């Protein structure tokens, strides 16, 4: 059964285990994404604040419980929280008007393993397609997403050319993935992250 974007968005937020995987939301129109990445022998925390309009929630897919395991992702499935073999760091769901925009983000430090990044974000896209199919199968609700794939790093700018296309914006390995430096993406609005590689998944 087809459903409008607003109704589907509210159902989606209830179906997913946002108590465990959810990213705390700031009051107002901003959200902060944080990820600790190993740099040398220590872990460094990277933070990005993004502005948005409309309603929003985000999940952090590598969240772990006190036992070092993952909790079930869906409320309506009796799964045991098995992790994906490949996954991105964050998936942000944003309801704006009559559309649901989905942003898959992978955070990196200075190095960009483009083959691995492309695989992680392709896996995220497949998961979003599977999410739509799973909800359709179990609860008979249908909708579609406008999906954008992004990688954020602090790769030295003199090395970026070896990873990106000639325009310096998209991964040469996968032109559907746009690259941002932390300093450039911080403070942007989610709508500014949409690009030519944004696609409709249903």
pLDDT in tens, 131-174: 999 889 888 989 999 999 999 999 999 999 999 998 899 999 99
Residue 95: per-residue pLDDT: 97
CB within 8 Å of 36: residues ≥ 6 apart: 43, 44, 45, 46
8-17, 94-103, 175-184: the lowest-pLDDT one: 8-17
Positive/negative CA dihedral, 10, 8, 178, 119: positive
* Cα angle 1-59-124, degrees, rounded to a multiple of 5: 70
Dist. CA 156–CA 7, nearest whole Å: 43
Q: Render pLDDT for 9-65 as a digit per residue (tens, 0 to 9).
A: 998 888 888 888 889 877 789 999 999 998 888 999 999 999 999 999 999 987 777
Answer yes or no: are the C-beta atoms of 147 and 177 closer than 8 Å.
Answer: no
Residue 68: per-residue pLDDT: 66
| DSSP-based three-state secondary structure for 183 | helix
């Amino acid at each position: 059964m087809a459903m409008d974007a607003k109704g589907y968005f509210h159902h989606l937020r209830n179906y997913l285990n946002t108590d465990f995987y959810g990213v705390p939301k700031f009051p107002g129109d901003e959200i902060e994404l944080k990820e600790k990445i190993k740099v040398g022998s220590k872990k460094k925390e990277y933070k990005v604040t993004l502005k948005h309009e409309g309603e929003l929630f985000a999940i952090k897919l590598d969240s772990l419980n006190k036992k070092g395991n993952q909790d079930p992702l869906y409320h309506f499935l009796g799964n045991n929280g098995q992790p994906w073999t490949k996954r991105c760091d964050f998936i942000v769901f944003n309801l704006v008007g009559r559309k649901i925009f989905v942003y898959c983000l992978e955070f990196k430090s200075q190095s960009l393993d483009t083959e691995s990044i492309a695989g992680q974000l392709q896996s995220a896209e497949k998961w979003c397609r599977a999410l739509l199919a799973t909800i359709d199968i179990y609860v008979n609700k249908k909708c579609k997403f406008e999906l954008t794939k992004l990688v954020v790093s602090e790769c030295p700018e003199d090395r970026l050319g070896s990873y990106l296309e000639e325009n310096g914006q998209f991964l040469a390995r996968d032109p559907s993935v746009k690259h941002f430096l932390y300093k450039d993406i911080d403070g942007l609005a989610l709508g500014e992250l949409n690009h030519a590689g944004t696609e409709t998944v249903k």
